[in-house]
């Protein structure tokens, strides 16, 4: 179920006055896309659900700060959910590494390998990465942030962000090579 533009303003207005039905409608409208986002950043569905619910709590608590002239509600909610994911990962067990590299290593993962895999299989591979490395990979590859932005979000240097991306690529390559050798 997706929202219609003429109804979203009513839902937002209802949320601003604490209307539970409006909050439920907002949650239902964005559940699928935001849950997918949370699943990319967490190790399992239980953690993803925890992050999603924490994120929506923040959405409801701060809905009066939403300004439709500055952007779409979906973008505003997505930003809150991503920040909640990052807080979850860095607060739990991810202590960012302080190793630094100066340049990205070339991506040696061949696209045809990914064409043979389902989105769910790729998600499982990414979930095998250490939390900080997984976060950088998701922010850079999936969400399109640059290393400066990632560094600011995770409170790490640009070089450390680049290292995590390089490390993610290396680890994913190793996992894929192992999988290929099993299939031969």
What's the chain's average pLDDT? 84
Q: What is the pTM of this model?
A: 0.70
Using one digit for the tens of pLDDT, what is the confidence trace for 127-136? 889 988 999 9
- For residues 84 and 21, state if they share a domain: yes
DSSP calls for 9-72: HHHHHHHHTT-HHHHHHHHHHHHHHHHHHHHHHSSSHHHHHHHHHHHHHHHHHHGGG--TTTS-
74 and 15 within one domain: yes
Q: Are residues 131 and 159 in the same domain?
A: yes
Write out the residue range of the structural domain in which residue 75 sits: 5-92
Return d(Cα 97, Cα 100) in angstroms, integer.
8
What's the CATH number where 20 sits?
1.10.1740.10
Residue 176 — very low, low, confident or very high, per pLDDT cuts 50/70/90? confident
Express each pLDDT in 32-83 by its tens digit. Answer: 999 999 999 998 999 999 999 999 999 999 999 999 899 999 999 999 999 9
């Amino acid at each position: 179920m997706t929202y219609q533009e003429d109804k979203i303003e009513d839902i937002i207005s209802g949320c601003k006055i604490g209307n539970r039905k409006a909050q439920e409608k907002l949650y239902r409208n964005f559940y699928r896309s935001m849950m997918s986002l949370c699943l990319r950043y967490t190790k399992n569905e239980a953690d993803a659900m925890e992050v999603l619910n924490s994120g929506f709590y923040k959405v409801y608590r701060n809905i009066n700060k939403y300004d439709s002239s500055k952007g779409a509600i979906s973008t505003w909610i997505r930003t809150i959910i991503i920040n909640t994911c990052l807080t979850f990962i860095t607060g739990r067990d991810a202590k960012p590494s302080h190793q630094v590299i100066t340049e990205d290593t070339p991506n040696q993962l061949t696209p045809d390998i990914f064409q043979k895999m389902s989105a769910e299989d790729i998600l499982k591979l990414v979930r095998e990465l250490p939390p900080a490395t997984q976060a950088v990979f998701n922010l850079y590859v999936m969400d399109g942030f640059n290393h400066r932005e990632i560094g600011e979000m995770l409170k790490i240097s640009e070089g450390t962000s680049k290292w995590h991306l390089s490390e993610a690529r290396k680890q994913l390559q190793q996992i894929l090579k192992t999988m290929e050798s099993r299939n031969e």
